[in-house]
Amino acid sequence: MPDDLVEGRPSAARVPAAVHVLGLSVFALGTSEFMLSGILQPLARDLDVSIPQAGLLVSAFAVGMVVGAPVLAAATLKLPRRTTLVALLAVFMLGQVAGALAPGYEVLFASRVVSALACAGFWAVGAAVAVSLVPENARARAMAIMVGGLSIANIAGVPAGSFLGQHAGWRAAFWAVAALSAVGLAGVLALVPRTPVPTGAEAPDLRRELRIYRDKQVWLALLTIALNAGAVFAVFSYLAPLLTDVAGLPESWVPSVLALFGLGGLIGTVIGGRIADAHLFGTMYGGIAASTAVLALLALLAEYRWAAIGLALLLGVTAFTTAPALNARMFNAADAAPTLAGATTTASFNIGNTVGPWVGGLAISAGWGYPAVAWVGAAMAAVAVLATAVSARVHARSRVVAASYPRREKREDKREEERGEVRTEEEQARV
């Protein structure tokens, strides 16, 4: 048996360049998604809107991601994947151009919704393409490269967008992302292989793919992803005021700490990508449990600036260590419907990204203070650990049932053989 097919051992084959191109494209998508946090003030001043109104641009993108992933995955199911990726990336690029040229808030808002829809579709289809280009036991590594693009966006893209917004105007940040999108588009055209749409029995069938939602393992994977993302973003969304108002850091330090979180995310992605293929549930258990501990410690030690800085770095490591495993788990659970699996994963992460900050905001509004968001995150992460335990138990049961079929078939074959031998002896006796 080839080494790359031995269960539990990662493939020795290199991840194709096409997967790295997809990661580069995700870098552009992630930069656009998160860069508004650094340019809200100049944007609000230029468009003559309040900060809360400008903040709705962030919410519009998140909601567009949740809705867009499954809708576009279903709508493009029977189209060639490379063609779909090119079209979605082109629409996303045009959305950035529209944002850079927007004469007012309404046009910018519409451009963010369109960009989010294209971003969600690209994530869903791109993830399906990435896992299709590698062996099954290298899926986590392929997804780590895509998630790594998001991590690097937090380290480099978001601070760079903030710098451009402060020194060259917020529109310059949109032009920069449009240029990055053009580079990604050229890479997809050059390196992502053309794959014909399957026909006959292998042809994509939306009804057949929708059957994955009958599987409790898919719903458990969705729940775990949403809880893990919600736990992290309940804190990340309010990390700046937590650092300044509770830890006493100067505002000038905030971008550096956010970059440290992104650096931790990159480290975690590398770790998760290396170990998740061989230890899928172990990576999920370890990473989410570690996030629970880090969030609880942050709630307790937030007033100590160096502790807060170190824990922000560690949260990036623990949160992103689980990301490749969570992605691979969804694709394994919904193996018969890879496109919808990618869409469900994207929607799940963004549900968490939306619910986490909302619940954290409720805790702040209740007068519990900024450290309360860390307790909220710790509670959500603890529930995610329980969801992982249930998922692992269901998975183990399904493997036992699947393994019992060959043994049952062998017993039945043996009985048929014995009955055949008896019939042969009877026939000979009659003769």
Please, are residues 89 and 149 in contact by the beta-carbon 8 Å criterion?
no
Name which of 335, 204, 315, 334 is nearest 264 in CA terms: 315
Considering the four listed CATH numbers 3.20.20.70, 1.20.1250.20, 3.30.70.260, 3.40.50.620, the one that applies to the domain covering 15-196 is: 1.20.1250.20
Distance from C-alpha of 373 to C-alpha of 252, rounded to nearest angstrom = 22
Fill in the amino acid letter for 149: G
Looking at residue 243, what DSSP letter applies? I
Give the pLDDT of residue 216: 78
- Give how far the C-alpha of residue 63 lies from the chain's centroid of Cα atoms, to the nearest Å: 15
* Other Cβ atoms within 10 Å of 414 Cβ, number: 10
Backbone conformation region of residue 369, classed left if phi is above 0, alpha if psi is from -120 to 50, else beta: left
Distance from C-alpha of 329 to C-alpha of 191, rounded to nearest angstrom = 27
Give the pLDDT of residue 300: 92
Q: Which alpha helices (H) appear in 102-157, and where do they start and end?
A: 105-132, 139-152
Helix count and strand count (H, E) for the chain: 16, 0
- Give how far the C-alpha of residue 202 lies from the chain's centroid of Cα atoms, to the nearest Å: 27
The contacts of residue 413 (CB under 8 Å, 6+ apart) are: none
Name which of 389, 399, 400, 401 is nearest 220 in CA terms: 389
Distances (CA, A) of 72 to 65, 87, 212, 214, 365: 10, 12, 17, 21, 36
Distance from C-alpha of 300 to C-alpha of 265, rounded to nearest angstrom = 22
The contacts of residue 135 (CB under 8 Å, 6+ apart) are: 4, 5, 11, 13
* Other Cβ atoms within 10 Å of 211 Cβ, number: 14
Domain boundary assignment for the chain: 15-196, 203-431
Architecture of domain 203-431: Up-down Bundle (1.20)
Instruction: List per-residue pLDDT tens for the chain, 431 residues long.
Output: 333 333 333 444 577 777 888 888 888 888 887 777 667 667 878 888 776 667 677 777 877 877 777 777 777 767 777 888 888 899 999 998 998 998 888 898 888 888 888 888 887 788 777 877 777 677 677 777 777 777 677 677 777 777 777 678 888 888 988 998 998 889 888 887 876 665 555 555 666 666 767 777 888 888 888 898 889 888 877 777 788 888 888 877 777 787 788 788 888 878 887 777 777 788 888 889 999 999 999 999 988 989 999 999 999 899 888 877 887 777 666 665 666 666 777 778 878 877 887 788 788 878 888 888 899 999 999 999 898 888 888 777 765 443 434 444 444 444 444 445 444 444 544 54
28-55 burial by CB neighbour count: b if 16+ within 10 A, else e? bbbbbbbbbbbbbebbbeebebeeeebe
Please, are residues 268 and 319 in contact by the beta-carbon 8 Å criterion?
yes
Write the burial class of residue 170 (CB in 10 Å: 0-12 exposed, 13-18 middle, 19+ buried).
buried
User: Which secondary structure element, helix H or strand E, spans residue 277, and what is its range?
Assistant: none
Q: Tokens representing 382?
A: 């603890």
Name which of 31, 12, 192 is nearest 96 in CA terms: 31
At residue 347, the 3 state secondary structure works out as: helix
**Could you tell me the end-to-end alpha-carbon distance of the chain, in angstroms, rounded to an integer?**
48
Q: Do domains 15-196 and 203-431 have the same CATH topology?
A: yes
Distance from C-alpha of 123 to C-alpha of 341, rounded to nearest angstrom = 11
